Amino acid sequence: MIIVMNSTATEGQIADIVERLSRDGVRVQRLDAERVALAATGARPDDALEAMPGVAAVLPDAGATPMVATPQRDHAGRTDPGDMARTDGAGSGHGDRESTAGFQVGEHRIGGGTFFCAAGPCSVEDPDTMHRIAGAVAAAGAVALRAGAYKPRSSPYSFQGMGEDGLAVAHAAAEAHGLLLVSEVLDATQIPIAARYVDILQVGARNMFNTTLLRELGRTHRPVLLKRGLAATIDEWLSAAEYIVSAGNPRVILCERGIRTFETATRNTLDLGALPVVRQRSHLPVLVDPSHAAGKRAYVRSMSRAAVAAGADGLLIEVHVDPDAATSDAAQTITPHALGRILQDARAIRNALDALDNGGR
Ligand code: PEP
Ligand code: MN
């Protein structure tokens, strides 16, 4: 059993709970997080424990993810561990696109019914190319520029990214065109550097299980875009988000980017089935990255359409003014013109979904 304390719980309140459980012979372990959690081995949740001052939630097992699921709150403001999923219509069968409250990043809202799009090259390139890409994706309707300065390449001999110089180049290009900047960090030492340039810190698929990095990102004030791991279950993905949120950073954006299966015709298998599951279990906004899922530019448009229809809060797409010349992931990179068509599709599909939802069907 896990007892999650309120962020305002005092040391005295924590000590009272430890003492009460220890009296019953239960072994209590304090878990190291910004929000204190107590693991009580061999104990079962009971009403009296839940009612103790400072307690936010009592969960039957360690796999629970209370911080990424909008909890029901009772009149005392405590969470109800019996139903951590939203009950205000989320997961009730229709579009489910308004089931996230969303949050603000600069002037933009992410989730909460607003459609988000981050687009740009896989890796940061030279300043002129970055400016041209940023201008073109902004004109196509993107609100954020994506570009990796620290690249998690499968081979140590592949281009590893431009590092801090790349962040500065990408920042200048994004700022010149009124775009937010999304960029990946590979380890905790890169967080303070990236935070100087980047609006949204990305955790790549290969790093989703890096709990040290997740905890450190929980201590920053920058929103985090958390890609699903190549072989991560939805539970593991939500637990990774829980690491960030429980360490103090509530602004996490989930991103489905395809998982590894036996299929080789596409780079990964886009798991759109994850969307309604995540919708039901979490209030966090969820994006889809069709580029890394498909691996080939010919499939990006249809995967984008399907993602929007499945209720994605937005898309993350690799775009370049000269896709074949892209430094990395050229095969899956599309033109700004193709991005414009995808974003037109997205508007039409969302309007159609609204009409269906409002038509009482
Ligand atoms: C990326 O977005 O550039 C990237 C490396 O993606 P992923 O971590 O999903 O492979
Ligand atoms: Mn890429």
- Distance CA(345)–CA(348), nearest Å, equals 5
30-42 mean pLDDT: 75
Q: Is the pLDDT of residue 70 over 80?
A: no
Nearest CA to ligand 1 atom 6: 204
List, in sequence order, every beta strand (DSSP E) within 25-184. 27-31, 37-41, 55-59, 103-105, 108-110, 116-120, 144-146, 180-184
Q: Which conformational region is residue 254 in: left (phi greater than 0), alpha (psi within -120 to 50 degrees), or beta?
A: beta
197-209 mean pLDDT: 98
Cβ of 205 closer than 6 Å to ligand 1, yes or no, is: yes
Cβ of 204 closer than 6 Å to ligand 1, yes or no, is: yes
Question: Which of residues 63 and 222 earns the better pLDDT score?
Answer: 222
82-89 mean pLDDT: 33
Ligand 2 centroid distance, CA of 112 (Å): 27
Q: What pLDDT score was predicted for residue 361? A: 54
Ligand nearest to the Cα of 257, by number: 1
Ligand 1 centroid distance, CA of 292 (Å): 7
Nearest CA to ligand 1 atom 10: 205
Cβ of 161 closer than 6 Å to ligand 1, yes or no, is: no
**SS3 per residue for 201-227:** EEECHHHCCCHHHHHHHHCCCCCEEEE
Q: What pLDDT score was predicted for residue 66? A: 77
Give me the helix-helix angle, 274-281 and 234-246, nearest 10°: 40
DSSP letter (8 states) at residue 321: S
- Using the CB atoms, write b or e for 294-324: b if 16+ within 10 Å: bbebebbbebbbbbbbbbbbbbbbbbbbebe
Length of the chain: 361
84-112 mean pLDDT: 61
Helix, strand, or coil (residue 179): coil
List pLDDT tens digits, range 249-296. Answer: 999 999 999 999 999 999 999 999 999 999 999 999 999 999 999 999
- What phi and psi, each to the nearest 5 degrees, are found at residue 207? -110, 5
Q: What pLDDT score was predicted for residue 42? A: 76
- Residue 327's nearest CA partner among 160, 127, 146 is 160
Q: How many CA atoms lie within 13 A of 16 on its CB side?
A: 14
List pLDDT tens digits, range 126-144. Answer: 999 999 999 999 999 999 9
Mean pLDDT of the chain: 89
Nearest CA to ligand 1 atom 9: 205
Question: Model-level pTM?
Answer: 0.85
Q: Is the pLDDT of residue 27 over 60?
A: yes
Q: Is the pLDDT of residue 206 over 80?
A: yes
Q: Atom of ligand 1 at shortest distance to CA of 205?
A: 8
Cβ of 336 closer than 6 Å to ligand 1, yes or no, is: no
DSSP letter (8 states) at residue 24: T
**SS3 per residue for 230-275:** CCCCHHHHHHHHHHHHHCCCCCEEEEECCECCCCCCCCCECCCCHH
- Distance CA(183)–CA(11), nearest Å, equals 38
Ligand 2 centroid distance, CA of 327 (Å): 10
> Which of 43-47, 59-63, 69-73, 97-101 holds the top average pLDDT?
43-47
